[in-house]
Amino acid sequence: MSEALYGTTTVVIGARTYTLRPTLEAALLIESRFGGLRGALESMRLMSISASADIIIAGAGLTAAEHTQVATEVFNTGVAKVSAQLTNFITVL
């Protein structure tokens, strides 16, 4: 596997597929939102819909304006299913 692709995670939520890339920008956005990666992992343990949407937005390079749509998709898909996938992405960061 290419170093550039290491840690890239594909998350299917509803009818949409998101490609999350472990970039410095994504890591910094997640750290600032949660007070560090450990805080992000704790939010996944608590199965937070909003936190899941925040991580998807950061990893996929989406805009904050898409938060409601992504959160709705997380809710409809099931936050337990989504948070498990996002935990792997955070761990790679």
Stated pTM of the model: 0.92
From CA 17, how far away is CA 14, in angstroms rounded? 8
pLDDT tops 60 at residue 2: no
* Mode of pairing for the β-strands spanning 16-20 and 9-13: antiparallel
The two three-digit tokens of residue 92, written as one number: 């790679």
pLDDT confidence band for 28 (50 / 70 / 90)? very high
Q: Tokens 């299913």 appear where?
A: 81
pLDDT of residue 6: 73
pLDDT tops 50 at residue 72: yes
pLDDT in tens, 12-26: 998 999 999 999 999
pLDDT tops 50 at residue 68: yes
pLDDT of residue 14: 85
Phi and psi at residue 11, to the nearest 5°: -120, 125
**DSSP 8-state code for residue 6:** T
